[in-house]
Amino acid sequence: MGGVLVITGASRGIGAATAKLAGSRGWAVAVNYNASAEQAGQVVAAIGASGGKAVAIKADVSTAAGARLLFAETVRQLGPVTGLFNNAGIVHTYTAITDMTEDMLAEHWRINITSQFLCAGEAVRRMSTKSGGTGGAIVNMSSRAAVIGGANGMLAYGASKGAIDTFTHGLSIEAAPQGIRVNAVRPGLIATDIHDATGDKERLKKLVGLVPQGRVGTAEEVGETVLWLLSPQASYVTGSLVDIGGGR
Ligand code: NAP
């Protein structure tokens, strides 16, 4: 495996775990973050300590300026980009449909959807074989919530991930003639801090009983699937939505 991989939201959680795995397997990794500078630095240090190459790049990927900066800095510091993991995302406190505000909805669409469009645009522009690139692969972060629906508090989150499923399908068709594969992962309940943002610190404990495998997943388990999708071993896989939910 190898090449230059951009991971959005790699300071914490699934992005951080995937960055460390990627760094140990020959990828040079752009560890993007927005607020968590210290954690991003720790991810870069861990990759360096295991003999890999990584840089931390601060950018709000939900803005066009941030996405542009992230890719320009990656190319400047690591070389031409060959992979993108569109991972950054948020959840809000549980909110019923009757209480949703325009600002809350706009933030979901901006961080969970717009960021993936903007970063994919930057990646395709550089990787496309039609504009002199070598091709590459993109993995978008969806969620099982796209299918389950996010009822009772997470409707906006579920809908934002549903949009990513459609985006992944469409972009895979548009990018295939340009030498670029596009897939998405749909994790279920993964043990990271994101669940605390719902306002329910017991969320994972309450829901784990619904998982046929009887446990929550780890960030590394998601990372393994992402790296496979980015690898040459997945060379005929595009437009796929890969569920990582322990059967749920
Ligand atoms: P997390 O631990 O809260 O990490 C979220 C990451 O996103 C952080 O590194 C954060 O960086 C970054 N981020 C947020 N807004 C950003 C922005 N505007 N620009 C750049 N980076 C930004 O969450 P996680 O659980 O790892 O989730 C990662 C992705 O997986 C999300 O898209 C989430 O929807 C999806 N997912 C998670 C689960 C789960 O159970 N955990 C299940 C399905 C899907 P800073 O702190 O530096 O801002």
User: For a substitution probing ligand 1, which of 6, 7, 8, 12 has the most ligand atoms within 8 Å of its CB?
Assistant: 12
Q: Which of 212, 220, 201, 223 is nearest to 245 (CA)?
A: 212
CATH number at residue 20: 3.40.50.720
Calculate how far, in angstroms, residue 209's C-alpha sits from the geometric centre of ligand 1. Answer: 24
What is the C-alpha to C-alpha distance for residues 148 and 139, in angstroms, rounded to an integer?
21
How many structural domains compose the chain? 1
> Cβ distance 34 to 60 under 8 Å?
yes
169, amino acid identity = H
pLDDT value for 194: 98
DSSP string, 116-133: HHHHHHHHHHHH-GGGT-
Residue whose token pair is 């720790």: 42
CB under 8 Å to 235, separation ≥6 — which residues? 181
pLDDT value for 2: 81
Range of the domain at 126: 3-244
Calculate how far, in angstroms, residue 236's C-alpha sits from the geometric centre of ligand 1. Answer: 28
> Cβ distance 183 to 168 under 8 Å?
yes
Q: Is the pTM above the cut of 0.95? A: yes
Host H or E run for residue 70 = helix 64-78
Which structure tokens are listed for 106? 């706009």
172 CB less than 6 Å from ligand 1? no
- Decide if 236 is catalytic: no
Would strands 27-33 and 136-141 be described as parallel, antiparallel, or unpaired?
A: unpaired
111 CB less than 6 Å from ligand 1? yes
Q: Provide block-wise average pLDDT over 10 residues at a time, the chain (248 residues).
A: 93 99 98 98 98 99 98 98 98 98 98 99 98 98 98 98 99 98 98 98 97 98 98 98 98
E strand residue ranges, 45-200: 53-58, 83-86, 136-141, 180-187
> 194 vs 60, 109, 137, CA distance in Å?
18, 17, 26
